[in-house]
Structure 1
Amino acid sequence: MAIEEDMDSLYTQDGTLDIHKKPANKKKTGTWKACRFILGTECCERLAYYGMSTNLVNYIEKHLSMGTVAASNSVTNWAGTCYATPLIGAFLADAYLGRYWTIASFVIVYISGMTLLTLSASVPGLTPACNGEDCHATEGQTAFTFLALYLIALGTGGIKPCVSSFGADQFDDTDEVEKESKSSFFNWFYFVINVGAMIA
Protein backbone atom coordinates (compact mmCIF):
# COMPACT_ATOMS: atom_id res chain seq x y z
CA MET A 1 0.00 0.00 0.00
CA ALA A 2 2.80 2.44 0.92
CA ILE A 3 4.65 1.50 -2.26
CA GLU A 4 1.58 2.37 -4.35
CA GLU A 5 1.28 5.76 -2.63
CA ASP A 6 4.97 6.44 -3.29
CA MET A 7 4.48 5.53 -6.95
CA ASP A 8 1.42 7.81 -7.10
CA SER A 9 3.42 10.73 -5.74
CA LEU A 10 6.44 9.95 -7.94
CA TYR A 11 4.65 9.94 -11.32
CA THR A 12 2.05 12.28 -12.78
CA GLN A 13 -1.51 10.99 -12.56
CA ASP A 14 -2.86 12.71 -15.66
CA GLY A 15 -1.23 10.32 -18.14
CA THR A 16 1.59 12.68 -19.11
CA LEU A 17 4.58 11.04 -20.78
CA ASP A 18 8.15 12.30 -20.89
CA ILE A 19 10.28 12.69 -24.03
CA HIS A 20 11.06 8.95 -23.97
CA LYS A 21 7.33 8.05 -23.93
CA LYS A 22 7.52 6.85 -20.32
CA PRO A 23 5.31 8.11 -17.44
CA ALA A 24 6.60 11.51 -16.36
CA ASN A 25 8.54 11.47 -13.09
CA LYS A 26 7.54 14.52 -11.03
CA LYS A 27 10.92 14.70 -9.32
CA LYS A 28 12.88 14.90 -12.59
CA THR A 29 10.62 16.59 -15.13
CA GLY A 30 8.11 19.37 -15.43
CA THR A 31 6.93 22.00 -12.97
CA TRP A 32 9.02 25.13 -12.53
CA LYS A 33 12.24 23.29 -13.47
CA ALA A 34 11.09 23.26 -17.09
CA CYS A 35 9.03 26.44 -16.98
CA ARG A 36 12.02 28.65 -16.18
CA PHE A 37 13.47 27.71 -19.57
CA ILE A 38 10.12 28.13 -21.32
CA LEU A 39 9.61 31.59 -19.82
CA GLY A 40 13.19 32.66 -20.58
CA THR A 41 12.93 31.47 -24.17
CA GLU A 42 9.61 33.24 -24.68
CA CYS A 43 11.00 36.49 -23.26
CA CYS A 44 14.01 36.33 -25.60
CA GLU A 45 11.85 35.40 -28.59
CA ARG A 46 9.53 38.37 -28.05
CA LEU A 47 12.53 40.66 -27.49
CA ALA A 48 14.06 39.51 -30.79
CA TYR A 49 10.76 39.73 -32.69
CA TYR A 50 9.72 43.19 -31.52
CA GLY A 51 13.27 44.54 -31.55
CA MET A 52 13.53 43.65 -35.21
CA SER A 53 9.98 44.31 -36.41
CA THR A 54 9.66 47.84 -35.03
CA ASN A 55 12.50 49.08 -37.25
CA LEU A 56 11.65 47.00 -40.28
CA VAL A 57 9.75 49.60 -42.35
CA ASN A 58 12.62 52.09 -41.99
CA TYR A 59 15.23 49.46 -42.84
CA ILE A 60 13.40 48.25 -45.95
CA GLU A 61 12.68 51.80 -47.10
CA LYS A 62 16.22 53.14 -46.61
CA HIS A 63 18.46 50.12 -47.23
CA LEU A 64 16.45 48.10 -49.75
CA SER A 65 15.50 51.20 -51.78
CA MET A 66 11.74 50.73 -51.50
CA GLY A 67 9.27 53.54 -51.14
CA THR A 68 7.35 54.08 -47.92
CA VAL A 69 4.18 52.44 -49.25
CA ALA A 70 6.02 49.39 -50.63
CA ALA A 71 8.04 49.02 -47.41
CA SER A 72 4.92 49.29 -45.24
CA ASN A 73 3.09 46.83 -47.47
CA SER A 74 6.00 44.37 -47.27
CA VAL A 75 6.07 44.57 -43.48
CA THR A 76 2.31 44.11 -43.10
CA ASN A 77 2.43 41.11 -45.46
CA TRP A 78 5.26 39.65 -43.37
CA ALA A 79 3.44 40.36 -40.08
CA GLY A 80 0.29 38.74 -41.49
CA THR A 81 2.34 35.69 -42.40
CA CYS A 82 3.72 35.59 -38.84
CA TYR A 83 0.15 35.41 -37.56
CA ALA A 84 -1.07 32.92 -40.21
CA THR A 85 1.73 30.35 -39.90
CA PRO A 86 0.68 29.30 -36.38
CA LEU A 87 -2.11 27.37 -38.11
CA ILE A 88 0.60 25.19 -39.67
CA GLY A 89 2.50 24.87 -36.40
CA ALA A 90 -0.64 23.94 -34.45
CA PHE A 91 -1.62 21.32 -37.03
CA LEU A 92 1.84 19.75 -37.03
CA ALA A 93 1.96 19.73 -33.22
CA ASP A 94 -1.48 18.16 -32.83
CA ALA A 95 -1.36 15.69 -35.70
CA TYR A 96 2.27 14.60 -36.02
CA LEU A 97 5.12 16.01 -33.95
CA GLY A 98 3.73 16.97 -30.56
CA ARG A 99 4.41 20.31 -28.92
CA TYR A 100 7.97 19.60 -27.80
CA TRP A 101 9.30 18.51 -31.20
CA THR A 102 7.36 21.23 -33.02
CA ILE A 103 8.90 23.90 -30.79
CA ALA A 104 12.37 22.33 -31.07
CA SER A 105 12.17 22.14 -34.88
CA PHE A 106 10.76 25.60 -35.46
CA VAL A 107 13.17 27.27 -33.03
CA ILE A 108 15.94 26.10 -35.38
CA VAL A 109 14.09 27.68 -38.32
CA TYR A 110 13.56 30.89 -36.30
CA ILE A 111 17.22 31.14 -35.27
CA SER A 112 18.28 30.44 -38.88
CA GLY A 113 16.10 33.32 -40.06
CA MET A 114 17.47 35.67 -37.39
CA THR A 115 21.03 34.67 -38.29
CA LEU A 116 20.43 35.28 -42.00
CA LEU A 117 18.79 38.63 -41.23
CA THR A 118 21.80 39.65 -39.14
CA LEU A 119 24.12 38.61 -41.98
CA SER A 120 22.03 40.54 -44.52
CA ALA A 121 22.48 43.71 -42.46
CA SER A 122 26.15 43.33 -41.56
CA VAL A 123 28.16 41.25 -44.06
CA PRO A 124 29.66 43.13 -47.03
CA GLY A 125 28.17 41.77 -50.22
CA LEU A 126 24.87 40.96 -48.51
CA THR A 127 24.46 44.54 -47.29
CA PRO A 128 23.35 47.09 -49.89
CA ALA A 129 26.02 49.56 -51.00
CA CYS A 130 25.27 52.96 -49.47
CA ASN A 131 26.61 56.36 -50.42
CA GLY A 132 25.56 58.48 -47.45
CA GLU A 133 21.76 58.25 -47.24
CA ASP A 134 21.42 56.73 -50.71
CA CYS A 135 21.46 52.89 -50.75
CA HIS A 136 21.13 50.61 -53.75
CA ALA A 137 20.16 47.01 -53.03
CA THR A 138 20.53 44.34 -55.68
CA GLU A 139 17.72 41.85 -56.30
CA GLY A 140 19.82 39.17 -54.62
CA GLN A 141 20.31 41.26 -51.49
CA THR A 142 16.60 42.03 -51.32
CA ALA A 143 15.72 38.35 -51.86
CA PHE A 144 18.18 37.29 -49.13
CA THR A 145 16.62 39.73 -46.66
CA PHE A 146 13.10 38.55 -47.43
CA LEU A 147 14.18 34.89 -47.23
CA ALA A 148 15.43 35.62 -43.71
CA LEU A 149 12.22 37.43 -42.78
CA TYR A 150 9.95 34.64 -44.01
CA LEU A 151 12.06 32.01 -42.23
CA ILE A 152 11.41 34.02 -39.06
CA ALA A 153 7.69 34.04 -39.89
CA LEU A 154 7.72 30.27 -40.35
CA GLY A 155 9.65 29.78 -37.12
CA THR A 156 7.19 31.98 -35.27
CA GLY A 157 4.41 29.77 -36.59
CA GLY A 158 5.79 26.72 -34.85
CA ILE A 159 6.53 28.45 -31.56
CA LYS A 160 3.53 30.72 -31.00
CA PRO A 161 0.72 28.11 -30.89
CA CYS A 162 2.64 25.56 -28.83
CA VAL A 163 4.68 27.30 -26.16
CA SER A 164 1.93 28.38 -23.74
CA SER A 165 0.21 24.99 -23.78
CA PHE A 166 3.60 23.26 -23.52
CA GLY A 167 4.23 25.29 -20.38
CA ALA A 168 0.83 24.26 -19.01
CA ASP A 169 1.72 20.61 -19.74
CA GLN A 170 4.50 20.85 -17.15
CA PHE A 171 1.95 20.79 -14.33
CA ASP A 172 -0.14 17.79 -13.20
CA ASP A 173 -3.83 18.75 -12.97
CA THR A 174 -4.48 15.96 -10.47
CA ASP A 175 -2.05 17.53 -7.97
CA GLU A 176 -3.60 20.53 -6.17
CA VAL A 177 -0.25 22.30 -5.64
CA GLU A 178 0.72 21.92 -9.30
CA LYS A 179 -2.77 22.95 -10.41
CA GLU A 180 -2.33 26.23 -8.55
CA SER A 181 1.17 26.63 -10.03
CA LYS A 182 -0.31 26.28 -13.52
CA SER A 183 -2.41 29.42 -12.97
CA SER A 184 0.68 31.21 -11.74
CA PHE A 185 2.57 30.05 -14.85
CA PHE A 186 0.14 31.86 -17.15
CA ASN A 187 0.57 35.08 -15.16
CA TRP A 188 4.35 34.79 -15.49
CA PHE A 189 4.04 33.84 -19.16
CA TYR A 190 2.12 37.00 -19.98
CA PHE A 191 4.51 39.04 -17.84
CA VAL A 192 7.67 37.82 -19.64
CA ILE A 193 6.07 38.43 -23.05
CA ASN A 194 5.53 42.04 -22.06
CA VAL A 195 9.00 42.36 -20.51
CA GLY A 196 10.54 41.13 -23.77
CA ALA A 197 8.39 43.51 -25.81
CA MET A 198 9.15 46.44 -23.49
CA ILE A 199 12.93 45.87 -23.62
CA ALA A 200 12.74 45.64 -27.42
Structure 2
Amino acid sequence: MANEVIERFTTTGFHSNMITYLTLKLNLPQVKASNILTNFNGTAGFAPLIGALMADSFSGRFWMIIFGSAIYQLGLVSIILSAVLPGLRPPPCPTQVNCKEASPSQIWILYLVLLLTSLGLGGIRPCVVTFAADQVGMTKAETESRSWNFFNWYYFFLEIASLSALTILVYIQDNVGWGWGLGIPIPLPCLCP
Protein backbone atom coordinates (compact mmCIF):
# COMPACT_ATOMS: atom_id res chain seq x y z
CA MET A 1 0.00 0.00 0.00
CA ALA A 2 2.88 2.36 0.75
CA ASN A 3 4.22 1.88 -2.79
CA GLU A 4 0.86 2.84 -4.31
CA VAL A 5 0.46 5.88 -2.04
CA ILE A 6 3.97 7.09 -2.91
CA GLU A 7 3.34 6.45 -6.61
CA ARG A 8 0.09 8.45 -6.49
CA PHE A 9 1.78 11.34 -4.64
CA THR A 10 4.61 11.41 -7.17
CA THR A 11 2.47 11.03 -10.29
CA THR A 12 -0.08 13.61 -9.20
CA GLY A 13 2.68 15.99 -8.19
CA PHE A 14 4.49 16.06 -11.48
CA HIS A 15 1.52 15.53 -13.77
CA SER A 16 -0.80 18.16 -12.29
CA ASN A 17 1.51 21.04 -13.12
CA MET A 18 3.16 19.58 -16.24
CA ILE A 19 1.32 21.88 -18.66
CA THR A 20 2.84 24.85 -16.85
CA TYR A 21 6.29 23.27 -17.05
CA LEU A 22 5.93 22.60 -20.78
CA THR A 23 4.68 26.09 -21.59
CA LEU A 24 6.87 28.16 -19.25
CA LYS A 25 10.11 26.17 -19.05
CA LEU A 26 10.22 24.41 -22.43
CA ASN A 27 8.46 27.36 -24.12
CA LEU A 28 6.07 25.10 -26.01
CA PRO A 29 2.82 26.45 -27.42
CA GLN A 30 -0.24 25.33 -25.46
CA VAL A 31 -1.51 23.13 -28.28
CA LYS A 32 1.78 21.23 -28.53
CA ALA A 33 2.06 20.94 -24.74
CA SER A 34 -1.51 19.62 -24.53
CA ASN A 35 -0.76 17.12 -27.28
CA ILE A 36 2.28 15.84 -25.39
CA LEU A 37 0.23 15.45 -22.20
CA THR A 38 -2.55 13.68 -24.11
CA ASN A 39 -0.01 11.24 -25.53
CA PHE A 40 1.40 10.69 -22.05
CA ASN A 41 -2.06 10.10 -20.57
CA GLY A 42 -2.90 7.63 -23.33
CA THR A 43 0.33 5.71 -22.84
CA ALA A 44 -0.06 5.73 -19.06
CA GLY A 45 -3.64 4.48 -19.45
CA PHE A 46 -2.67 1.67 -21.84
CA ALA A 47 0.54 0.54 -20.11
CA PRO A 48 -1.25 -1.20 -17.18
CA LEU A 49 -2.82 -3.61 -19.68
CA ILE A 50 0.64 -4.65 -20.81
CA GLY A 51 1.93 -4.76 -17.22
CA ALA A 52 -0.96 -6.95 -16.08
CA LEU A 53 -0.47 -9.31 -19.03
CA MET A 54 3.24 -9.62 -18.32
CA ALA A 55 2.67 -10.12 -14.60
CA ASP A 56 0.07 -12.84 -15.17
CA SER A 57 1.96 -14.59 -17.97
CA PHE A 58 5.63 -14.30 -17.08
CA SER A 59 6.95 -12.57 -14.01
CA GLY A 60 4.29 -12.54 -11.31
CA ARG A 61 2.97 -9.49 -9.52
CA PHE A 62 5.82 -9.04 -7.05
CA TRP A 63 8.53 -8.95 -9.71
CA MET A 64 6.42 -6.73 -11.97
CA ILE A 65 6.05 -4.26 -9.08
CA ILE A 66 9.83 -4.31 -8.57
CA PHE A 67 10.51 -3.88 -12.30
CA GLY A 68 7.85 -1.17 -12.68
CA SER A 69 9.18 0.72 -9.66
CA ALA A 70 12.72 0.64 -11.08
CA ILE A 71 11.59 1.90 -14.51
CA TYR A 72 9.41 4.53 -12.86
CA GLN A 73 12.33 5.66 -10.70
CA LEU A 74 14.53 5.96 -13.80
CA GLY A 75 11.86 8.14 -15.42
CA LEU A 76 11.62 10.35 -12.33
CA VAL A 77 15.37 10.84 -12.16
CA SER A 78 15.34 11.72 -15.85
CA ILE A 79 12.57 14.31 -15.39
CA ILE A 80 14.51 16.04 -12.63
CA LEU A 81 17.62 16.07 -14.82
CA SER A 82 15.64 17.63 -17.66
CA ALA A 83 14.39 20.32 -15.26
CA VAL A 84 17.81 21.06 -13.75
CA LEU A 85 20.39 20.63 -16.54
CA PRO A 86 20.43 23.68 -18.82
CA GLY A 87 21.25 21.63 -21.94
CA LEU A 88 17.98 19.71 -21.68
CA ARG A 89 15.75 22.76 -21.92
CA PRO A 90 15.81 26.06 -23.83
CA PRO A 91 17.29 29.19 -22.26
CA PRO A 92 15.03 30.99 -19.77
CA CYS A 93 12.67 33.55 -21.24
CA PRO A 94 11.40 35.93 -18.54
CA THR A 95 9.22 37.97 -20.91
CA GLN A 96 7.44 34.94 -22.44
CA VAL A 97 7.48 36.77 -25.77
CA ASN A 98 9.45 35.44 -28.77
CA CYS A 99 10.98 32.70 -26.64
CA LYS A 100 13.13 29.99 -28.12
CA GLU A 101 11.10 26.77 -28.17
CA ALA A 102 12.60 23.47 -27.01
CA SER A 103 14.65 21.78 -29.71
CA PRO A 104 13.56 18.48 -31.27
CA SER A 105 16.22 16.62 -29.27
CA GLN A 106 14.94 18.18 -26.02
CA ILE A 107 11.39 17.15 -26.97
CA TRP A 108 12.56 13.59 -27.68
CA ILE A 109 14.22 13.45 -24.27
CA LEU A 110 10.95 14.63 -22.73
CA TYR A 111 9.07 11.91 -24.65
CA LEU A 112 11.56 9.30 -23.42
CA VAL A 113 11.15 10.49 -19.82
CA LEU A 114 7.36 10.39 -20.06
CA LEU A 115 7.51 6.96 -21.72
CA LEU A 116 9.65 5.60 -18.88
CA THR A 117 7.24 6.90 -16.25
CA SER A 118 4.27 5.50 -18.20
CA LEU A 119 5.87 2.06 -18.50
CA GLY A 120 6.77 2.15 -14.82
CA LEU A 121 3.18 2.98 -13.94
CA GLY A 122 2.11 0.10 -16.18
CA GLY A 123 4.10 -2.27 -14.02
CA ILE A 124 2.91 -0.85 -10.71
CA ARG A 125 -0.77 0.01 -11.07
CA PRO A 126 -2.32 -3.32 -12.09
CA CYS A 127 -0.31 -5.32 -9.59
CA VAL A 128 -0.10 -3.41 -6.32
CA VAL A 129 -3.72 -3.46 -5.21
CA THR A 130 -4.21 -7.15 -6.05
CA PHE A 131 -0.88 -8.07 -4.47
CA ALA A 132 -1.84 -6.15 -1.32
CA ALA A 133 -5.31 -7.72 -1.27
CA ASP A 134 -3.66 -11.16 -1.34
CA GLN A 135 -1.90 -10.26 1.89
CA VAL A 136 -5.29 -9.83 3.60
CA GLY A 137 -6.23 -13.46 2.89
CA MET A 138 -7.38 -15.03 6.15
CA THR A 139 -10.15 -17.44 6.95
CA LYS A 140 -13.38 -16.96 5.03
CA ALA A 141 -15.25 -15.43 8.01
CA GLU A 142 -12.59 -12.76 8.61
CA THR A 143 -11.77 -12.00 5.00
CA GLU A 144 -14.83 -9.94 4.12
CA SER A 145 -14.50 -7.46 6.99
CA ARG A 146 -10.71 -7.22 6.71
CA SER A 147 -10.72 -6.70 2.96
CA TRP A 148 -13.43 -4.06 3.37
CA ASN A 149 -11.24 -2.26 5.92
CA PHE A 150 -8.20 -2.63 3.69
CA PHE A 151 -9.89 -1.06 0.66
CA ASN A 152 -11.33 1.77 2.76
CA TRP A 153 -7.87 2.65 4.06
CA TYR A 154 -6.34 2.07 0.64
CA TYR A 155 -8.54 4.64 -1.11
CA PHE A 156 -8.39 7.03 1.82
CA PHE A 157 -4.59 7.12 1.67
CA LEU A 158 -4.63 7.46 -2.14
CA GLU A 159 -6.78 10.55 -1.87
CA ILE A 160 -4.62 12.00 0.94
CA ALA A 161 -1.57 11.46 -1.31
CA SER A 162 -3.29 13.24 -4.22
CA LEU A 163 -4.39 16.13 -2.02
CA SER A 164 -0.89 16.49 -0.58
CA ALA A 165 0.69 16.48 -4.02
CA LEU A 166 -1.78 19.02 -5.41
CA THR A 167 -1.11 21.41 -2.55
CA ILE A 168 2.49 20.87 -1.45
CA LEU A 169 4.30 19.89 -4.64
CA VAL A 170 2.49 22.33 -6.91
CA TYR A 171 3.23 25.14 -4.46
CA ILE A 172 6.91 24.19 -4.40
CA GLN A 173 7.06 23.95 -8.21
CA ASP A 174 5.50 27.38 -8.67
CA ASN A 175 7.21 29.24 -5.82
CA VAL A 176 10.50 27.50 -5.03
CA GLY A 177 11.58 25.89 -8.28
CA TRP A 178 10.96 23.03 -10.66
CA GLY A 179 14.10 21.20 -9.56
CA TRP A 180 12.77 20.97 -6.01
CA GLY A 181 9.16 20.38 -7.01
CA LEU A 182 10.04 17.48 -9.28
CA GLY A 183 12.92 16.28 -7.12
CA ILE A 184 11.19 15.87 -3.75
CA PRO A 185 9.22 12.74 -4.72
CA ILE A 186 12.14 11.03 -6.47
CA PRO A 187 13.65 9.26 -3.44
CA LEU A 188 10.22 8.13 -2.24
CA PRO A 189 9.71 5.14 -4.62
CA CYS A 190 13.13 3.85 -3.53
CA LEU A 191 11.72 3.34 -0.04
CA CYS A 192 9.22 0.76 -1.24
CA PRO A 193 8.48 -2.00 -2.89
> TM tier, shorter chain?
0.7 to 0.9
**5 Å matches for 1:7-86?**
39-86=1-48
* Amino acid in the other structure paired with 1:138: S
Question: Which SS does the other structure have where 1:115 is aligned?
Answer: helix
Structure with the bigger percentage of helix: 2
Measure the CA separation in 1 of the matches of 2:90 and 2:5: 31
CA distance in 1, matches of 2:52, 2:129: 12
**TM-score, normalization by structure 1:** 0.75
Answer yes or no: is 1:145 the counterpart of 2:110. Answer: yes
For 1:43 and 1:52, locate their aligned partners in 2 and report how far apart those are by CA, in whole Å: 14
Give the structure-2-normalised TM-score. Answer: 0.78
Unpaired runs of at least 5, structure 2 = 166-193
Partner of 2:168: none
The gaps in structure 1 that reach 5 residues or longer are: 1-38
Q: Is the 8 A contact 2:48 2:123 kept in 1?
A: yes
Match of 1:171 in 2: 136
1:115 alignment partner in structure 2: 77
Aligned position for 1:6: none
> Which one scores higher on RCO, CA 8 angstroms, separation ≥ 6?
2
Contact 1:90 1:161 (C-alpha < 8 Å) held by counterparts: yes
Give the secondary structure class of the aligned counterpart of 2:86: coil
Distance (Å, rounded) in 1 between the aligned partners of 2:150 and 2:92: 47
2:158 — aligned with what? Answer: 193
Q: CA RMSD in A?
A: 1.6
Overall identity of the aligned pairs, in %: 37
Q: What CA distance in whole angstroms lies between the structure 2 residues aligned with 1:47 and 1:128?
A: 28
Aligned residues: 162
Q: Give, in angstroms, the shift of residue 197 of structure 1.
A: 0.7
